[in-house]
């Protein structure tokens, strides 16, 4: 029996060897099958092993900001950053929902930051009246929160004055109010808000530049030039001030 099997194998080998077309066809079929199996295996393993990363940098930033907002739900800064990021990415409804949630959760001085973000959303929707209403409320609550902090500290024999508070957010609110009044056509009211902001920080180049714009449209060219130049003293390459000053001098 072994001799018979060997003879059969020899005859098969002889036929294959004598027919090169058949041999190459068999080789091609085997090669294609092997390549297909390797490709399938790679696709399967790749699906399991490939890391799941955000598709864009914006998505990655949103995830980080969302995690911060969820980790610190009472932080006005974290909530404000996430609201503005959602808005900037075009997720307007999500930004509004996040704002509504933050207003309920964040209290005290931190809430002013949330209000500032809400004013930005209203300005984008051209709701200038709503922006003014919210800004007025934000300033009133911020003032009340400051007084409470001062009173609480006095009870603990600690001296705190209004000058020790960080005015960054209050300035943001005043600047948003100025924009709202400006866009609604009330330049005098806009100027009043800008003056209040500069009373808190006279070196705010962005506020100085905006006030210069208002002065220019009110026909007060000298005051506008003075504000532009002052803004450039603090930030020499501040583009809005450079452009405004150049435009005024060209007139």
Q: Which of 42-51, 150-159, 240-249 has the lowest mean pLDDT?
A: 42-51
Domain ranges of the chain: 57-167
pLDDT of residue 29: 65
Most confident of 1-10, 102-111, 160-169: 102-111
CA distance 193 to 214: 11
Question: What architecture is the 57-167 domain classified under in CATH?
Answer: Alpha Horseshoe (1.25)
Looking at residues 162-176, what average pLDDT do you find?
Answer: 90
Looking at residues 78-101, what average pLDDT do you find?
Answer: 95
The larger pLDDT score, comparing residue 20 to residue 50, is at 20
pLDDT at 243 over 90: yes
Looking at residues 182-187, what average pLDDT do you find?
Answer: 96
Looking at residues 193-198, what average pLDDT do you find?
Answer: 98
Q: What is the pTM of this model?
A: 0.75
pLDDT of residue 5: 47
The model's confidence at residue 25, banded by pLDDT at 50, 70 and 90, is low
Sequence-distant (6+) residues with CB within 8 A of 76 are: 102, 106, 109, 110, 111, 112, 113, 114, 169
pLDDT of residue 50: 47
CA distance 84 to 178: 19
Q: Are 142 and 173 in contact (CB under 8 A)?
A: yes
pLDDT at 114 over 90: yes
Looking at residues 100-115, what average pLDDT do you find?
Answer: 96
The larger pLDDT score, comparing residue 165 to residue 80, is at 80
Looking at residues 218-227, what average pLDDT do you find?
Answer: 95
Closest among 170, 214, 218, 168 to 191, alpha carbons compared: 214
pLDDT at 17 over 70: no
The model's confidence at residue 35, banded by pLDDT at 50, 70 and 90, is low
pLDDT of residue 48: 46
pLDDT of residue 90: 93
pLDDT tens-digit map of 39-70: 655 555 554 444 554 467 778 889 999 999 99
Longest dimension (CA), the chain: 116
Buried/exposed 124-149: b ≥16 CB within 10 Å, e otherwise: eeeebebbbebbeebbebbeebbeeb
Sequence-distant (6+) residues with CB within 8 A of 86 are: 62, 92, 94, 95, 98
CA distance 228 to 244: 7
């Amino acid at each position: 029996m072994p001799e018979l099997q060997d003879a059969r194998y020899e005859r098969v080998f002889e036929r294959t060897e004598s027919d090169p077309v058949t041999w190459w066809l068999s080789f091609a079929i085997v090669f294609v099958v092997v390549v297909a199996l390797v490709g399938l295996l790679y696709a399967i393993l790749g699906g399991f092993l490939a890391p799941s990363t955000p598709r864009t940098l914006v998505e990655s930033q949103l995830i980080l900001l969302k995690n911060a907002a969820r980790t610190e739900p009472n932080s006005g800064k974290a909530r404000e950053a996430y609201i503005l990021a959602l808005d900037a990415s075009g997720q307007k409804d999500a930004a509004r929902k996040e704002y509504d949630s933050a207003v309920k959760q964040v209290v005290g001085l931190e809430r002013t930051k949330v209000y500032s973000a809400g004013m930005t959303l209203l300005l984008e929707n051209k709701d200038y009246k709503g922006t003014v209403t919210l800004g007025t409320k934000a300033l009133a609550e911020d003032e009340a929160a400051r007084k409470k902090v001062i009173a609480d500290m006095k009870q603990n024999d600690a001296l705190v004055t209004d000058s020790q508070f960080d005015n960054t957010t209050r300035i943001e609110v005043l600047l948003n109010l100025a924009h709202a009044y400006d866009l609604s056509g009330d330049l005098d009211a806009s100027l009043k808000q800008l003056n209040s902001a500069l009373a808190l920080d006279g070196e705010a180049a962005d506020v100085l530049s905006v006030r210069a714009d208002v002065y220019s449209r009110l026909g007060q060219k000298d005051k506008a030039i003075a504000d532009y130049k002052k803004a450039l003293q603090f930030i020499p390459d501040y583009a809005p001030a450079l452009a405004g000053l150049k435009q005024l001098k060209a007139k």
